[in-house]
Amino acid sequence: MTIYITAHLCETASYTTRDYFEGAIMKPTPHIQTQFLSAHDVAAIVARTGIADTLNGMADYIRQDFMRWGDFEKCARVANHSKDGVIELMPVSDAKTYAFKYVNGHPSNHRFNLPTVMAFGALADVDTGIPELLSELTLTTALRTAAMSAVATIALARPGSRRMALIGNGAQSEFQALAFHHLVGIEEIRLFDTDRKATDKLMRNLAHTNLRVFACDSVAQAVRGADIVTTVTADKTNATILTPELIEPGMHINGVGGDCPGKTELHPDVLRGASVFVEYEPQTRIEGDLQHLPADFAVTELWRVLGGQVQGRSNDTEVTLFDSVGFALEDFSALRYMRDTAKRLGVGQSLALIPELANPKDLFSLIHPDATAATDKLVNLDPIRYLFTSAQTA
């Protein structure tokens, strides 16, 4: 007989912890299951929840986590660079839960018919290290990046902003457009991409919405008269998608695509002319458009604005700029959102990632079971106490 140990599966156990430790029953072999969400599962969650509610829910989780910023152990992500791209690991934890994301950025992947960005990640129990959730994060990253742009924009843009320019119409762009539509109240979007087919694809995908969508022939045409400008291009170079003469008083800019050393989108004078907000300053100094400015260039971490500690925009003519690079805490929030929603909807699968061992010191028994005495199954199961404790407080 098996008792399930992980947080969500423990609820199905038919024995109490007291029964277990007082020896009222035969001690079972621990059976650790990790919840798994495939890309198909996450797509099903979004389909059943609706894209607007998904983005809204994720934005709420992001806000909640940013507003308890001090609870998290944080670091800039670890990046391995190569000629065509980067592979990054993004860890973060609070006292209870650890999260990490693996993500790449290869703008020339289209040569191989592959996306620029692909990702997966995990949630784990801090007390024991048990991996509780393993999930796809390619689709989830697009959702969380869009939700994050909306959270920042609601905090920083002029109230009543209705018109946006969206530069870069690739994989992330629909999610950005829909987050701005549903969460910020954007009604009109002007599009530009150097690849007209990408813009046509975006227009097709937004055709069923109430958004008014226009394709433009240049960045300048798209940006003119916009309340909000979002750049989400991919090119492994220091591009200057936005130059100072394009920026109008009162605009809010989201620079989403400049997220790596040597991969930026904004002319440095665009930042100099704006109040600049960032996710986690030590990371953005390395990866954001901020990398072109001296170390003493003043920026504000967004959590301070969300927590009401500092003001976002001070007047209607100020230019505000969110230099987004993507911070691990957003993935922590996104993974939490997906875990909770999957549980509510009954979506996902279980994985046997961690070996079942009668004696946790006898890992070798996994490949040589004959050498393990039957009595080993009844001894030395102390880690279960920790597993149960974490399961009950999860």
Ligand X SMILES: NC(=O)c1ccc[n+]([C@@H]2O[C@H](COP(=O)([O-])OP(=O)(O)OC[C@H]3O[C@@H](n4cnc5c(N)ncnc54)[C@H](O)[C@@H]3O)[C@@H](O)[C@H]2O)c1
Site mask, ligand X, residues 140-159, x = CB under 6 A?
-x---x--------------
* Closer residue to ligand X, CB minimum distance, 86 or 357: 86
* Binding of residue 287 to ligand X (CB under 6 A): no
d(CA 95, CA 235): 38
* Binding of residue 259 to ligand X (CB under 6 A): yes
- Pick the binder of ligand X from 274, 326, 336, 387 (CB under 6 A): 326
* Closer residue to ligand X, CB minimum distance, 30 or 168: 168
Which residue, among 259, 303, 298, 296, has the nearest Cα to 276 in the 3D structure? 298
- Pick the binder of ligand X from 34, 54, 161, 169 (CB under 6 A): 169
Q: Closest approach of Cβ 169 to ligand X, in Å?
A: 5
* Closer residue to ligand X, CB minimum distance, 41 or 174: 174
- List the structure tokens of 375: 């009595």
Interface positions, 179-238, toward ligand X (CB under 6 A): 192-195, 198, 232-235
**DSSP for 309-344?**
SS-S--STT--EEEE----HHHHHHHHHHHHHHHHH
List the catalytic residue out of 259, 289, 323, 331: 259
Say which residues have a Cβ less than 8 Å from residue 326's Cβ, sequence separation at least 6: 90, 103, 141, 145, 148, 259, 279
* Closer residue to ligand X, CB minimum distance, 57 or 85: 85
Contact 39, 138 (CB under 8 A): yes
* Closer residue to ligand X, CB minimum distance, 130 or 146: 146
Contact 327, 283 (CB under 8 A): yes
d(CA 206, CA 202): 6
Query: How many residues at the interface with ligand X, by CB under 6 A?
Result: 30
* Closer residue to ligand X, CB minimum distance, 107 or 121: 107
* Binding of residue 324 to ligand X (CB under 6 A): yes
Q: Closest approach of Cβ 184 to ligand X, in Å?
A: 17
Asked about 376 being catalytic, the answer comes back as no
Q: Closest approach of Cβ 100 to ligand X, in Å?
A: 16
Contact 353, 134 (CB under 8 A): yes
Q: Closest approach of Cβ 288 to ligand X, in Å?
A: 9
d(CA 99, CA 148): 17
* Bridge partners (DSSP) listed for residue 104: 87
Say which residues have a Cβ less than 8 Å from residue 328's Cβ, sequence separation at least 6: 74, 75, 77, 90, 91, 92, 99, 100, 101
Q: Closest approach of Cβ 62 to ligand X, in Å?
A: 11
3-state secondary structure of 103: strand
* Binding of residue 30 to ligand X (CB under 6 A): no
The catalytic residues are 259
Which parts of this chain interact with ligand X (CB under 6 A)?
A: 105, 107, 116-117, 141, 145, 167-173, 192-195, 198, 232-235, 239, 241, 256-257, 259, 324-326
